[in-house]
Structure 1
Amino acid sequence: MRKTQKVALLALTLSAGGLAAAQGFLTIGSGSTTGVYFPVATAMAKMINDSGSGARANARSTGGSVFNMNALASGELDMATVQNDVAYYAYKGNGISAFEGKANNKVRSMAVLYPEVLHVIARKDAKINSIADLKGKRVVIGDLGSGTEQTARQVLEAYGLKFEDLGQALRVSPAQGITLMQDKRADALFYTVGVGASAISQIAQTVDVKLVPVSGNQAASLLKKYPFYVRYNIPAKSYKGQGATVPGVAVQATLVTTSAASDDTVYKAMKAIFSNDAAVKAIHPSLATNYSKEKAVKGLPAPLHPGAVKFWKEMGLNVK
């Protein structure tokens, strides 16, 4: 190839890259395909793509909140759905070993979406009625480095237990956890996810299980030590065989990005997703019963992105 052809090809490549950057392409990290993050992120990507704003997006299934925060830091992801506690730890550089001493001050919030409820599902034949009963049991605690793993650690701590006190701490994906529960190779499963998640529904449909409560003095001490938790009662009949309300705790699913994303691209994404409350609520039942513009700016784990500030101000909210 001649030198002039190489120069022309390089110029064309740079031009195409510059055009893509100007239009704004966003890779949105989510979580397991059996959780709530994935359908939420997929729907949001479609809303951005259908908006006609020039911004484009795609959603990726990932290992969850901790992975997403690390991938945002490396530039592998542009946006992500994450637990607000995990995003806070990443921003501050503490709380989780993966973030220790590596504070990412580029983390920026976009919106709080819905409560993520800690589900502790136990096989009825395992005779587990309390978190304390998990001692010596085979327990699925989530993927290594996931938000669920961190939540499981903190809840067990409230009951005076550590992972070492379990018979087995099974670090696997929700899908693998379902299989282990079905095959009687696991007694219980932790999963921090929106109520109605397909993974929990699938377990309840195929295995005789019960929801284990997180309540009383233990829940109070958990909320006191970790203020990003809130109390949340899982409504009766949320899952097959659940006849009564089950007291529990929740963190908050949050949409985040970094300061590397342009103000214009983030603004366009915000407008595409959040301009219409009815459209947001239609994404998933977790949003249908919990989302509002006012709640979307409460409990943010990091400063709002300037593109998000512009959008929320247009929506009449007092933000900065």
Structure 2
Amino acid sequence: MNKRTRQLTAVLILGVTAAALAQGTTFLTIGSGSTTGVYFPVATGMAKMVNDAGSGVRANARSTGGSVFNMNAIASGELDAAVAQNDVVYYAYKGTGLQAFQGKANSKLRTMAVLYPEVLHVVARKDSGIKTIADLKGKRVVIGDLGSGTELTAKQVMEAYGLGFDDLGQALRVSPAQGITLMQDKRADALFYTVGVGASAISQIAQTVDVNMVPVSGNQAASLIKKYPFYVRFNVPAKSYRGVGATVPSVAVQATLVTSTALSEDAVYRAMKAIFDSEADVKGLHPSLNSNFSYAKAVKGIPAPLHAGAVKFFKEKGLNVK
């Protein structure tokens, strides 16, 4: 073999190796939510963990409109995985509950892990006089982005109090970032946001506006939980935000990492190993995870079946899953 032949052979081998490596890499786009919420930093942190692991999976996180958008984007293939409210995932899986999913059940949806409780925050300007959900009647209220999980939660909670969006003075369907501005500029009286405790959006409002945290409790909370079993009672701890001096009763759903059967068992298993192999590392991603995440909780209240790759991972961690 002459020198030129050896050089050509070496180039060919390198080219084949590079192609093989490229073919062996799975690229994972993870949908999150608004940059002012908890989904985005959690998804960004998870993508970094996947990339740092060097396991043949590469990931990036995308800011999106939230849970409903994420479910439709997984169905269309625009996203490979996403963080979403467990109730919204269930509705997408079953093809019910929301107009966006009616008659379009996505049986390919799969759960990777339940992450943390998403607490309904109902924040009102003190000068609005709003102290209860009933007081929202006739007021200007931010109910979440159109098609977001927050919009759905706002609708269901208001129904428990005998109210609908038509009872509001103005139903403002905007992003959390826009909602902050409206609250600060006195163009909104109150804001709904389903998000982990400590979210920057709520903190930002509380730092710049005198606010009340409106409770969801009593018989109304009980009827809500009975009708929609995804909800659980959850207390927002005192001093979680500026001006919130006492514990505020509310309700919560669960933030869940989901994917679809379009991703292979091996790819999901490798992503699971990269993200979840250490409980301590997962807890370090965000305060919402710090006090709430565990392997045992990660498989409780799953809204769609576990992905085969997640089953393999959790079985290795000693959990009885299928």
Q: TM-score range by the shorter chain?
A: over 0.9
Aligned mates of 2:104, 2:69 — CA distance in 1? 14
**Residue in 2 that maps onto 1:164:** 166
SS at match of 1:205: helix
* Within-5 A mapping of 1:227-306: 227-306=229-308
Aligned mates of 1:16, 1:295 — CA distance in 2? 41
**Residue in 2 that maps onto 1:174:** 176
Which of residues 308, 313, 316 is equivalent to 2:315? 313
**Residue in 1 that maps onto 2:191:** 189
**Residue in 2 that maps onto 1:62:** 64
Aligned mates of 2:134, 2:22 — CA distance in 1? 53
Aligned mates of 2:112, 2:85 — CA distance in 1? 13
CA 123–46 in structure 1, closer or farther in 2 if over 3 Å, else same: same
Aligned mates of 1:20, 1:68 — CA distance in 2? 27
Residue 31 of structure 1, CA deviation: 0.1
Q: Which runs of 5+ in 1 are unaligned?
A: 1-12
Aligned mates of 2:246, 2:184 — CA distance in 1? 23
Q: Deviations over 1:221-249 (max 9, x none)?
A: 00000000000000000000111000000
Structure 2 counterpart of 1:183, one-letter code: D
Structure 1 counterpart of 2:202, one-letter code: I
CA 145–20 in structure 1, closer or farther in 2 if over 3 Å, else same: farther
SS at match of 1:294: helix
SS at match of 2:163: coil
Q: Deviations over 1:95-137 (max 9, x none)?
A: 0000000000000000000000000000000000100100000
Structure 1 counterpart of 2:253, one-letter code: V
RMSD: 1.4
**Residue 89, structure 1, aligned to residue 91, structure 2:** yes
SS at match of 1:184: coil
SS at match of 2:119: strand
Q: Deviations over 1:59-86 (max 9, x none)?
A: 0000000000000000000000000000
Structure 2 counterpart of 1:68, one-letter code: N
Q: Aligned residue pairs: how many?
A: 308
Q: Deviations over 1:32-83 (max 9, x none)?
A: 0000000000000000000021110000000000000000000000000000
**Residue in 1 that maps onto 2:112:** 110
Q: Percentage identity across aligned positions? A: 79
**Residue in 2 that maps onto 1:8:** none
Q: Larger Cα Rg: Structure 1 or Structure 2?
A: 2
**Residue in 2 that maps onto 1:6:** none
TM-score (norm 2): 0.94
Q: Which runs of 5+ in 2 are unaligned?
A: 1-14
Residue 301 of structure 1, CA deviation: 0.3
Structure 2 counterpart of 1:212, one-letter code: V
